[in-house]
Chain A
C-alpha cells in the first residue's frame, strides 16, 4: 500500500507537502492554533454548493481537494464506486451543534435551524466530501481520540485489501470551539499554555489532513507519483500493562514482523495527546541504541492537539519528511489518546 497524495489545512499553512513539512517546522505564531480564514473556492470548484457548512467540513473539503490534486486519480465513471472515504473525527461540528442548542433554548423548537442540525451529524464531513468529489464507494466516519486517524487509515487499508475499493481517501478533521475547549479545561485535560515540554498536554488545535492510499500496483499502473509506502498500522487499548512496556513491545513486534531494522527508523513523530511522554519513552527504549540517531518530529508547537486530525497531521508530516529526499528510511508515527488508546504507523522503507 502506498500514499499518493497529501493535503493539509492547519494553523501552520494550507497546501500539500509544503504545508505538511511546515507542521514539524517552526512553531506557529498563531497562539490559539486556529486555521487562518480562507476561501473554500480557492480549493474547490463547486464551493458555492457548500456555502453553509461547519468548519470541520470546510477543512476536510479543502484537505481532500489538495490530496486528490496531489494524487490525481481518475474519479470518473466506474472509478467513482471503486474509491472510498474514511474520515476520523473526535468532536465534530461543535460550533453548529452549540448554535442549534442556543436557538432551541432561546426561541423554541420552531426556530431551530434544520441546517445546523444536519451539519452537526458526525458523518457530515464524509458525506459532503463524497458529494463534492462524486465518490460513491464505501464512506465511513470513525469516532475516536487522537488515535482516530490511525484507525481510519487501518480501516481504509482493509477496504483496499478486501477488494471493496481500489483506493481510499483518508482524512482527519477537527474544529476548535469554545465549548470543547471549556469541556477539556473543566476536566483538566488541556494545558493553559502552549506546548513546551514533552510531558505537557498541548492546547486544543484544529484543521484537517488528508491522504490518498492505494495498492502499489494500481498506483504504478496509472503512473501516479508514489509519495511513500505504508508499512503497517496498529491500534490498541491499554490492557493494564504499563504504557511504556506495551508500546515498546508492540513497536518491536511490528519491526520484527515487517523485517525492519531499528537503525532504519529515521524519525519518530511524537504524540500530541495525553501520556505522550510515557509513550515516547517506551518507544525510544524499545529502539535501543539506534534511538540516539533518530530525529523527533513534533507537530505540537505548530498545531497544538488537533484531536481527530492529529494522526493524519502526523502522517502528513512524516510523508513530507521522508519525501524531502534526505532519507529513504522509515518513519514511525505515535499516537496516544485521552482514554488510553494507542496507535503506531510505520511509513517508508523505499518508494514503491
Chain B
C-alpha cells in the first residue's frame, strides 16, 4: 500500500522570525536579510569567530518551563499544528511525531556540567531537559499524540531525515498524520566544538563563493504536518504541497569530512528522485545544504552534477544558510518549508552574501536576489557528520 503524502501545515521559528510567523520568515529569506550577528547567548570574546544566528532569548518567553531549545520547538510545533488545523481532526493513535535534533538539550547539559554552585532543584530541572528524547516526549504529550514518537539524530541531515521517515510511515499506511521537523539551539558546547574543528567563518557565510570561509552556527525549529492525502481532503485541510520522494545514503569514508565527490549525497538524491517517478530534468529548484565550507560546496556541486546530469547547470540552486547560519537539526526542516513556499509563490530565494564565482561550484546559485520561477518540483538536500546524506523531493499538489 502506498498512500500519497501531503503537507497541510508549516511552523518555523528562526532568528529572522523570532515570534514564529512563517510569512515573516519567508519574506526575510527572500530579501536576504542578515540573521548572523555578534553572539549574544554566551561570552564569545575568547573565540576567533564571534558571530552566530541566534533568537534573542527574551523573545522566547519562559512560559511552560524548559530551556531555549524546548521553547523554540514548542513555538514551531504549535504553529504547525495550528496552520494545519489538526487539533481534534485526526485519530491520536494514528498520529505520530518525528523530531530531528543534533544537540537536543545540550544547553541544559552544558549548564549542568559547568554548574557546581547551582542549587539542587535547579540541577534537577536542567537534568530533566538534558536528554534529547525529552523534547519529543514533551511535544507529544502537549498535543496528545498517541502513535510512534521518534527522535532521530543523523547530524545535519536530522531534519530532512525526520520528514523522510514520517513520509514513509504515512505512505506505507502505518499512520494518518505525522508532525515532523527539527530543532537545535546555539550553545557554547557546539560553538567551541566547531571552533576546534576550524569550521567557523571569521567573516560572513558565503555559500558557493570562491572566498567562502566556513559556517556560522544558527538555531531555531521547523515542523511540517504530513498527512495521508485522502485524510487531508476528507477533513477539508488546505494542502500546501506533496512529499514526493525521499532518499538517504552514507558516504562511509570519514566521520567529519564529506566524500570529495559527493558519493553519498548523489546516491540519496538519485533515490529520492527515483521514488517520485519523474526525470531529474523536471526539478525546478534545489535548496542546497550550502554550508559555505570549502569542501561541502564542492562536494555538493559534484553530487548535483552526478545525479541531475546536464540539468545541474541549469536549475536554480540556493542556500539559505548565508542568512540563517547552520541550524543543524532544524536546518533540513526549515529548508523543506522554504521549498514548499517557493512552490506556492513561484519564487526561489537567493544565496545571499555571494561575491565571486568559484569554478568548482559551477551551478546557478541565484546570487543575492530572489528570482521568479514557476516551481512544480523542488529538491531539498542535507549532509552532515558521520557521512550522513538526505534528500527530499517536494512537489505541487
A residues neighboring B (CB under 8 Å) = 80-81, 85, 89-91, 97-98, 100-101, 104-105, 108-109, 112-114, 117-124, 126-128, 130-131, 134-145, 148, 151, 154-155, 158, 161-162, 164, 179, 183, 186-187, 235-237, 239, 339, 341
Does B248 contact A145, Cβ atoms closer than 8 Å? no
Does B249 contact A137, Cβ atoms closer than 8 Å? yes
Contacts A109-B47, A131-B254, A142-B152 hold; do A114 and B197 have CB atoms under 8 A apart? yes
Q: Which residue of A lies closest to B252 (CB)?
A: A130
- A91 contacts across to B, CB distance below 8 A: 131
Query: What string of 1s and 0s marks CB contacts (under 8 Å) between B253-284 and chain A?
Result: 11110000001100100010000000000000
Contacts A101-B113, A139-B250 hold; do A151 and B150 have CB atoms under 8 A apart? yes
List 7 additional A-B contacts (Cβ < 8 Å) besides A117-B192, A140-B154: A100-B189, A127-B255, A130-B387, A136-B252, A137-B248, A151-B150, A186-B127
Does B192 contact A104, Cβ atoms closer than 8 Å? yes
- B113 contacts across to A, CB distance below 8 A: 98, 101, 179
Q: Which residue of A lies closest to B104 (CB)?
A: A143
Contacts A128-B255, A143-B104 hold; do A237 and B149 have CB atoms under 8 A apart? yes
CA distance A264 to B172 in the complex (A): 29
Is B361's CB within 8 Å of the partner chain A? no
CA distance A140 to B154 in the complex (A): 6
- A237 contacts across to B, CB distance below 8 A: 137, 140-141, 145-146, 149
Does B248 contact A140, Cβ atoms closer than 8 Å? yes
Distance in Å from the Cβ of B141 to the closest Cβ of chain A?
8
CA distance A183 to B112 in the complex (A): 10
- B130 contacts across to A, CB distance below 8 A: 183
Distance in Å from the Cβ of A61 to the closest Cβ of chain B?
13
Other-chain residue from B140, B146, B153, B193 in contact with A114 (beta carbon distance below 8 A): B193
Does B271 contact A164, Cβ atoms closer than 8 Å? yes
Other-chain residue from A80, A112, A127 in contact with B192 (beta carbon distance below 8 A): A112
Other-chain residue from A143, A162, A187 in contact with B152 (beta carbon distance below 8 A): A143
Does B196 contact A114, Cβ atoms closer than 8 Å? yes
Contacts A112-B196, A124-B386 hold; do A140 and B161 have CB atoms under 8 A apart? yes
Q: Which residue of A lies closest to B148 (CB)?
A: A235
Is B304's CB within 8 Å of the partner chain A? no
* A–B complex contacts, Cβ < 8 Å, 30 sampled: A100-B189, A101-B110, A101-B189, A104-B188, A114-B197, A117-B196, A118-B193, A119-B255, A122-B102, A126-B386, A128-B386, A130-B386, A134-B252, A135-B252, A136-B249, A136-B263, A136-B264, A137-B249, A139-B250, A140-B152, A142-B151, A142-B152, A143-B151, A143-B153, A158-B168, A161-B172, A183-B112, A186-B120, A187-B128, A339-B137
Q: Which residue of B lies closest to A340 (CB)?
A: B137
- A80 contacts across to B, CB distance below 8 A: 252
Does B386 contact A127, Cβ atoms closer than 8 Å? yes
Does B124 contact A187, Cβ atoms closer than 8 Å? yes
Query: What string of 1s and 0s marks CB contacts (under 8 Å) between B123-136 and chain A?
Result: 11001101111100
CA distance A120 to B134 in the complex (A): 18
How many A-B residue pairs lie within 8 Å, measured between CB atoms? 178
Does A118 contact B385, Cβ atoms closer than 8 Å? yes
CA distance A127 to B141 in the complex (A): 31
Does B193 contact A162, Cβ atoms closer than 8 Å? no
Does A122 contact B153, Cβ atoms closer than 8 Å? yes
Count B-side interface residues using an 8 Å CB cutoff.
Answer: 69
Distance in Å from the Cβ of A270 to the closest Cβ of chain B?
22
Is B144's CB within 8 Å of the partner chain A? yes
Is B92's CB within 8 Å of the partner chain A? yes
Distance in Å from the Cβ of B42 to the closest Cβ of chain A?
11
- B6 contacts across to A, CB distance below 8 A: none
Contacts A123-B385, A128-B255 hold; do A341 and B149 have CB atoms under 8 A apart? yes
Does B387 contact A81, Cβ atoms closer than 8 Å? no
Task: Sort A-B residue pairs by CB-CB distance and give the 8 closest, nearest first.
Answer: A127-B386, A117-B193, A138-B248, A114-B196, A143-B151, A122-B153, A239-B146, A130-B252
Other-chain residue from A114, A144, A162 in contact with B151 (beta carbon distance below 8 A): A144
CA distance A135 to B152 in the complex (A): 19
Does B110 contact A141, Cβ atoms closer than 8 Å? no
Contacts A141-B153, A236-B146 hold; do A109 and B128 have CB atoms under 8 A apart? no
CA distance A236 to B174 in the complex (A): 13
Does B192 contact A155, Cβ atoms closer than 8 Å? no
- B154 contacts across to A, CB distance below 8 A: 123, 126, 139-141
Q: Which residue of B lies closest to A234 (CB)?
A: B148
CA distance A261 to B140 in the complex (A): 34
Does B149 contact A109, Cβ atoms closer than 8 Å? no
Does A183 contact B127, Cβ atoms closer than 8 Å? yes
CA distance A164 to B123 in the complex (A): 44
Does A131 contact B248, Cβ atoms closer than 8 Å? no
- B132 contacts across to A, CB distance below 8 A: 122, 143
Distance in Å from the Cβ of B249 to the closest Cβ of chain A?
6
- B134 contacts across to A, CB distance below 8 A: 339
**Which residue among B114, B131, B189, B386 has the maximum number of chain A CB atoms within 10 Å of its CB?**
B386
Contacts A98-B113, A113-B196, A122-B132 hold; do A127 and B387 have CB atoms under 8 A apart? yes
Distance in Å from the Cβ of A178 to the closest Cβ of chain B?
12
Is B147's CB within 8 Å of the partner chain A? yes
Other-chain residue from B141, B197, B267, B386 in contact with A136 (beta carbon distance below 8 A): B267
- B264 contacts across to A, CB distance below 8 A: 136
Does A109 contact B46, Cβ atoms closer than 8 Å? yes
Does B148 contact A151, Cβ atoms closer than 8 Å? yes
Other-chain residue from B92, B188, B197 in contact with A118 (beta carbon distance below 8 A): B197
Distance in Å from the Cβ of B309 to the closest Cβ of chain A?
19
Other-chain residue from B114, B124, B150, B250 in contact with A186 (beta carbon distance below 8 A): B124
- A101 contacts across to B, CB distance below 8 A: 110, 113-114, 189
- B168 contacts across to A, CB distance below 8 A: 158, 162
Does B267 contact A81, Cβ atoms closer than 8 Å? yes
Is B378's CB within 8 Å of the partner chain A? no
- A183 contacts across to B, CB distance below 8 A: 112, 127, 130
